[in-house]
Structure 1
């Protein structure tokens, strides 16, 4: 498995989401037809900081050996983040058909990353000595 590609894609995705949430929370709320309050704007900016930080973690570990026992905390953190978010998004989408189409795109992206990082948890980066 090409972990450098996976980690780079994840890092860029999270960093871009973090920058957008940090610097344009009102615009994001308007794009999903949500009413923005000062408290909600602050929560989105804090979420943006979290995403950006997580993206930087992935960027800094993109060249490291990941999988199996190697960098397991990074793999577990990514796997749990993407899996929990994908499940929450899918639950919201199946229960509410009024959500914007962009939420479907985000849910699919999360599901793909959840699958990739889930597989990475059980994949050994060391070639077997046959």
Structure 2
């Protein structure tokens, strides 16, 4: 089983990029990215460096030598999957924190989420309107 194709696809998905977007960022075609992800083509050393820099991970991680993501910008090791790393970033989003606090309070109070569905949806819609006025 090839680790590199899986890592390319996983990191691309975590970053929310299409194959075309990744290809444009790296100076590669969408077809080349697809072949890398399918394991039909191996990236040359220069391409491997481009992937590592783009995803801010070590080439050792890309190649499966290690399963630990090393954040190259800060030299900190991230001992979990790209999916969990993306989830952590989502949880640290300042716009999300009030909703997380509300959910924790509701769970701690043993409140039924369904009774708050309409008010919560109204709050979400108001927040979206404030961020994106017409």
- TM-score of the superposed pair, with normalisation by structure 2: 0.28
Structure in which a larger fraction of residues adopt strand:
2
Larger RCO, structure (CA 8 Å, separation 6 or more): 1
